[in-house]
A and B are shown apart, each in its own frame.
Chain A
């Protein structure tokens, strides 16, 4: 339960960190908050030759309103997101989700860039990136590129980042809505989700003008359920709509079975949570 030996560098610029990654020739690993990486080091499931600690890089921790977007620096800790007034006002679904991200001591260290790069399919921030349609800004040896969240998560614990790329910031477009709901279920509070659903709606009188639905814990990546959205967009709002959403969500996900829950249970749970989330969203005063 102790890490195997590695070389350690703590560069002070993103450029130097990328140089160190390139020099490590595939044997380097970025250390941000370390709340997923250090357990893997302790178990020796990951044995990098070089650990590149980016915590000493200035200017990677910020939460800023930029026009119709919130830009968040990659090194921003979960606790800062949880306690940010700007996030509470502008990204209320993220605010609601943050208390479910592990526990206080983990949130004090864990970073948004690290969570997205780790890409756990049952982690909140990757799902929120999909839900809000975030853009992930990655920097490599040849400069920066912008990656849509829907292209970023490739598989469980796998992103489209190149080996020498580092996430530097994430842009969350503001989402206009008339109500939203966030529902998560885990075995113990703060554990990874068995299933989780986020919903936001736009009303046009008695018609559902638009909706957005994202899920996690029920696939190899977090999911934006666009086919479910398409089926309910434009539908008349009535008391049966939450149940309809539940059925559509359950039918559209293909969860895995593991020691925590069976696939059938997760499929059922995703529907129940979707129903609750939409009920909450519809109850909001427009």
Chain B
């Protein structure tokens, strides 16, 4: 067993014992009980397990928990609460950017990373940015619309 220290959604976890082979996705869900992070394909194709690691979107199924030692993680639980959704979450709700909701945590975490680092001026840029996240309800149109709306709102906020 290894011991790691991580901060998840602002909460510090000290001296947590993990088996080296434990995936970060399973650590979040099973060890910490944060089941908002979904596990789909477990080989990096579907994007459902995407979280932020030190601010960058990553596949938590392609990262070992032991590698996150000393890192700061944000999961979908860290974005907003049911009573106080963040801007991107609100945009998903307003634009019907989800149907069954399985892909949604990964879409949101990828979207957060995209909003911070890419201009997302065109739908093509948004689609390219979301290309690593699969939605089997084929809700891409509304997901793109939600991200477009959130991007416009952040630009307005930055300009004002």
Instruction: Give residues in A with beta carbon < 8 Å to B.
Output: 1-8, 10, 31, 34-35, 38-39, 41-43, 51, 53, 55, 79, 83, 99, 102-106, 108-109, 188-190
Contact = CB atoms under 8 A, between A and B. Distances in A.
A189 B131 contact: yes
Contact of B62 (A5, A38, A51, A83): A38
Nearest to B57: A105
Contacts of A38: 23, 44, 61-64
Contact of B67 (A1, A53, A188, A190): A53
Nearest to B62: A38
A51 B20 contact: yes
Contact of B43 (A5, A42, A105): A42
Contacts of B127: 189
Q: Is the interface of A mostly helix, strand, loop or mixed?
A: loop
28 contacts: A1-B43, A2-B21, A5-B19, A8-B66, A10-B66, A31-B64, A34-B64, A35-B59, A38-B61, A38-B62, A38-B63, A39-B44, A39-B62, A41-B21, A43-B43, A51-B20, A99-B128, A105-B47, A105-B58, A105-B110, A105-B132, A106-B132, A108-B56, A108-B58, A108-B113, A109-B62, A189-B128, A190-B131
Interface residues of B, number: 32
A149 B75 CA distance: 40
Looking at A38, A42, A51, A190, the one whose CB has the most chain B CB atoms below 10 A away is A38
Given A42-B43, A42-B61, A104 B114 contact: yes
B2 interface: yes
B20 A104 contact: no
Interface of B: 2, 19-21, 23, 26, 42-44, 47, 50, 53, 56-59, 61-64, 66-67, 110, 113-114, 117, 127-129, 131-133
Contacts of A83: 117
Cβ-closest 6 pairs across A and B: A103-B132, A8-B20, A39-B43, A108-B56, A3-B21, A1-B42
B154 to A, nearest CB: 17
B59 A106 contact: yes
A1 B45 CA distance: 13
B132 A102 contact: yes
Nearest to A5: B21
A188 B128 CA distance: 10
Given A8-B66, A42-B42, A105-B110, 18 more contacts: A2-B23, A5-B20, A10-B66, A35-B44, A38-B23, A42-B43, A83-B117, A99-B128, A104-B114, A105-B50, A105-B58, A106-B59, A108-B57, A108-B58, A108-B113, A109-B58, A188-B131, A189-B128
A2 B26 contact: yes
A175 B7 CA distance: 45
A208 B43 CA distance: 45
A99 B125 CA distance: 11
A99 B127 CA distance: 12
Contacts of A6: 20-21
A55 B70 CA distance: 13
A5 B131 CA distance: 32
Contacts of A189: 127-128, 131
Given A5-B21, A189-B131, A34 B62 contact: yes
B109 to A, nearest CB: 8
